[in-house]
Amino acid sequence: AQSVSQHNHHVILSEAASLELGCNYSYGGTVNLFWYVQYPGQHLQLLLKYFSGDPLVKGIKGFEAEFIKSKFSFNLRKPSVQWSDTAEYFCAVNARYNQAGTALIFGKGTTLSVSS
Amino acid sequence: AAGVIQSPRHLIKEKRETATLKCYPIPRHDTVYWYQQGPGQDPQFLISFYEKMQSDKGSIPDRFSAQQFSDYHSELNMSSLELGDSALYFCASSKQGYQETQYFGPGTRLLVL
């Protein structure tokens, strides 16, 4: 079975600080990797995704993530956070079976609080 | 761009009542997923459908059932509601394929009293 581990439950930063959120997954096969963001009271929005190719992927709002296969990791980074980045961040994976409808497995989430 | 539509957005029910949640996927998306997110929890996968057939199944209680219709919309039917069913229920949709992104709807917040 797949599982996702997010190391930081709650991260508090000042504006302009750099951000790195850790994500490790457990699965023996090939996976697709995602980071979603959930602003207070809102639905999940896709930040970025990795399917194959360049392990460094860039997403919306200046976020990027690096897939390190040997470490089963997909850490999210942003060089300079803004107050508006305050939200819950979820790492998610799904196994790359050759079928539609494969479930996303989410980590427990990291709450990011940015102070101005 | 069109997004996933869910209705109702909020629902209050009594214990042992039934509830039906509806999901309308993004146009041309043929795969629908249901997730349950409890307070302060991560989303948990319930069930998914592709071309009206169940595709994957997660931790969906036997009291719940779901289906996908010919127009690709989906309904989640919940019976004998329990207090613990209070949660945010998300629907997501994607196009068929194992490299397709799931796009989430705004969710239905269910409160069971």
Of B30, B44, B90, the CB nearest to A43: B90
Q: What whole-number distance in Å separates Cα of residue B53 and Cα of residue B51?
A: 6
CA–CA gap between residue A14 and residue B77 (Å, rounded) = 44
Give the pair of three-digit tokens for residue B49: 């459908």
> Which of A36, A42, A102 has the CB atom closest to B98's CB atom?
A102
Does B78 score more than 80 pLDDT?
Answer: yes
Per-residue pLDDT reduced to its tens digit, A102-112: 889 999 999 99
pLDDT at B96: 76
Q: Which helix (H) or strand (E) holds A77?
A: strand A73-78
Q: Which residues of B touch A109 (CB under 8 A)?
A: 42
Instruction: Check A101 against B31: CB less than 8 A apart.
Output: yes
Q: Report yes or no: A89 and A37 within 8 Å, Cβ to Cβ.
A: yes
Per CATH, domain B5-112 is 2.60.40.10: yes
For residue A100, count other CB atoms closer than 10 A to its CB. Answer: 20
| B56 in contact with A, Cβ within 8 Å | yes
Q: Do A90 and B106 touch (CB under 8 A)?
A: no
**pLDDT for res B40:** 86
pLDDT at residue B80 greater than cutoff 60: yes
Are residues B48 and A96, on separate chains, in Cβ contact within 8 Å? no
Which pair of structure tokens corresponds to residue B45? 């996968």
Interface touch B55/A99, C-beta < 8 Å: yes
Indicate the residue of B31, B49, B106 with minimum beta-carbon distance to A43.
B106
Most confidently modeled of A90-104, B1-15, B90-104?
A: B1-15
Chain A interface includes B43 (CB < 8 A): yes
User: What pLDDT was estimated at residue B27?
Assistant: 92
Query: Least CA distance to A111: which residue of chain B?
Result: B40
- The shortest C-alpha distance from A75 to chain B (Å) reads 18
Return the CATH architecture of domain A3-115.
Sandwich (2.60)
**Each residue's pLDDT tens digit, A29-74:** 888 999 999 998 888 999 999 998 999 999 999 999 999 999 999 9
For residue B98, pLDDT over 60 is answered with no
Q: What is the mean pLDDT of chain B?
A: 93
Q: What per-residue confidence (pLDDT) applies to B99?
A: 67
Q: What is the pLDDT of residues B42-74, one digit of tens each?
A: 999 999 999 899 988 998 999 999 999 999 999
Chain A contacts to B (CB-CB under 8 A): 32, 34, 36, 42-46, 49, 51-52, 90, 96-109
Q: Quick one: which of A43, A44, A47 has its CA closest to A63?
A: A47
C-alpha span between B113 and B110 (Å, rounded): 10
What are the residue boundaries of the structural domains of chain B, listed by start?
Answer: 5-112
- Kindly report the nearest CA distance between residue A21 and chain B, in angstroms: 16
- The domain segmentation of chain A, as residue ranges, is 3-115
